[in-house]
A and B are shown apart, each in its own frame.
Chain A
Amino acid sequence: MANIDRDQLLHVARLARLELREEEVERLGAQLNDILAAVSKVSELDLSGVPPTSHPLDVVNVWAADEPHASLPVEEALANAPEREGSYFRVPPGGSS
């Protein structure tokens, strides 16, 4: 059932914003297919009547009052910025992202 071909692999890499080098494409492709074959085991089970679990605990209705906390001082907000201009984060331009 599971078999990712090269095009699909590159598509998934694009979705994940990973620029795979050629040798990575080969190696990863093979490994991913092995892993997918193993995890596809889940489809052996007929679980039509079973609800999915999104949360291990049965907790609902958690929210906070609309009261402000102190925001970070701007220098801390930018402390780890790879590139900045004034108090802005700076990134290369792009029609795509």
Chain B
Amino acid sequence: MIDTLRLTAEEAARLLREREVSAAELYAAYRAAIDERDPELHCYLHVCEDDGGEGIPIAVKDVIGTKGIPTTAGSKILENYVPVYDATVIERCKANGLRVLGKTNTDEFAMGSSTENSAYGPTKNPWDPTRVPGGSGGGSAAAVAAGLAPWALGSDTGGSIKQPAALCGNVGLRPTYGTVSRYGAIAFASSLDQIGPVARNVRDCAYLYSIIAGRDPADSTTVELPNAVELPEGEDLKGLRVGVPREFNEHEAIEPGVREAVQRAIELCRELGAEVGDCSLPYSVDYGMPCYYLIAPAEASSNLARYDGVRFGYRSPNGGDRLEMYERTRDEGFGEESKRRIMIGTYALSAGYYDAYYGQAQKVRTVLAREHAQAFERFDVLVSPTSPSVAFKLGARSENPLAMYLSDLLTIPSCMAGLPGLNVPCGLSEGLPVGLQLIGPQFSENVLFRVGQALETAIGFDPVPARLVDV
């Protein structure tokens, strides 16, 4: 009996290798779990049939292109779109024997923090289905948490892997910008987007990262990893310097329960032998959000221009001449948040406003990068909560864009600097998962995995949602 709620990818690989379980049985177990729990949770937009392959199944966020499998980006404007090519990360997964289990729900075009912006309905948090799983990659995080996939691929622009991982109690990595190919991943903000692994534990996360990472000739912004990925083994943090940035840890938006869980984890770092110290990044939290909400929408406004009803996707039936076709297709095909961001982005780039908005934001970005770099002269890793709150109620922030944007307050700054970040569950608050964010300098994934693994072992967090145990 395969317990998909607990099975790690590493364990699944062993079972297959030692023929304790067949590939078909493994696949069937996940299908059964999906049939049972997904009608309530709605993690999946599309579930694939068993293709007869031999490897481990993987769930894929629906912004990542899969050849022959519908890919919607959570949007009506791509409702019937079937890619004619695989994203590079999918090719790499397939080359390692992985099989696409299904496409997971996402905020439309990866824009959002709750998965409520999906044109296909929201995903529910497996810990409490009246609450959001986080976003934009809520589907992937919820699927892993609910045992509907052993692991998943997500995408992170301002926190879309880390924050759902925090709210659903699993491990998510936002990689160093440029270490994972974006070819085939539907672009939101090109200088910020990264594809990354979502998993039940740090080792699975590291292993999946090693499969997908590395330079891709099809993506000019990728580079070779300077060091090979190391699966973490160690259990202590001796010799490591852990920084606690004040602004990230004492912000008034952080819920008390979250703050406590994170502080316990920081204390644990000390006990494990790390040198822990305070630091200050005065601009990052205050200016990170405005910076992000100028640059990301600007790039998005341009990236989303290709959705025009000409070559693929939705075309408005309310036809008319070409101009009307464009305008109606896009107005009818895009949801609210996408339209908001397109408008902001277009404005920020427009004549007369570029310097004050986009141009200025690109400079703020430099400031944030420098600030982080300075901190990393004294520390190997910075810690903070990933999300200021635990999972909030469905509908609680959806009427207020700015309130929703605040969900990313703590994940955004390091994204602006192209830095990697790992979410590791560190406890519960009111029965809901709290995530610890580990930020490192560029190419420091191995350090993040080492710290994450040590804490994971020491904390002993049970990633199975309590309400799903003994179901």
B-binding residues in A (CB < 8 A): 1, 4, 8-9, 12-13, 15-21, 24, 28, 31-32, 34-36, 38-43, 45, 47, 50-57, 59, 62-64, 72, 76-77, 79-83, 89, 91-94, 96-97
Contacts and interface: CB of A to CB of B under 8 A. Distances in A.
Given A18-B330, A56-B177, A57-B418, A45 B287 contact: yes
B357 A57 contact: no
Contacts of A35: 293, 340, 344, 401-402, 405
Contacts of B315: 82-83
B334 interface: yes
B350 interface: yes
B323 interface: yes
The 3 residue pairs across chains A and B that have the minimum distance between CB atoms? A56-B418, A94-B322, A52-B362
B343 A56 contact: no
15 contacts: A18-B327, A18-B331, A18-B342, A20-B339, A34-B402, A42-B294, A45-B287, A45-B360, A52-B359, A53-B366, A55-B221, A56-B178, A79-B82, A80-B312, A92-B322
Given A42-B291, A45-B364, A72-B84, A97 B346 contact: no
A51 B311 CA distance: 38
**Interface SS majority for chain B:** helix
B223 A31 contact: no
Nearest to B291: A42
Nearest to A76: B84
Interface string B328-360: 101100100001101110111010000011011
Interface residues of B, number: 69
Contacts of B325: 91-92
B340 A31 contact: yes
Contacts of B357: 39-40, 42
Contacts of A15: 346, 350
B221 A20 contact: no
A52 B314 CA distance: 37
**Interface SS majority for chain A:** loop
A35 B419 CA distance: 26
Given A15-B350, A80-B81, A45 B367 contact: yes
Interface of B: 80-82, 84, 177-178, 191, 217, 220-221, 223, 283, 286-287, 289-291, 293-294, 301, 305, 308-315, 319-328, 330-331, 334, 339-340, 342-344, 346-348, 350, 356-357, 359-367, 369, 401-402, 405, 417-418, 442
A16 B350 CA distance: 11
Given A19-B328, A39-B293, A45-B364, A55 B191 contact: yes
Given A15-B350, A50-B363, A50-B366, A92 B319 contact: yes
A59 B178 contact: yes
Contact of B442 (A13, A57, A92): A57
Most buried by B among A32, A42, A47, A72: A42
B217 A64 contact: yes
Given A39-B293, A53-B366, A17 B308 contact: yes
A27 B401 CA distance: 12
Contacts of A17: 305, 308, 323, 326-327, 330
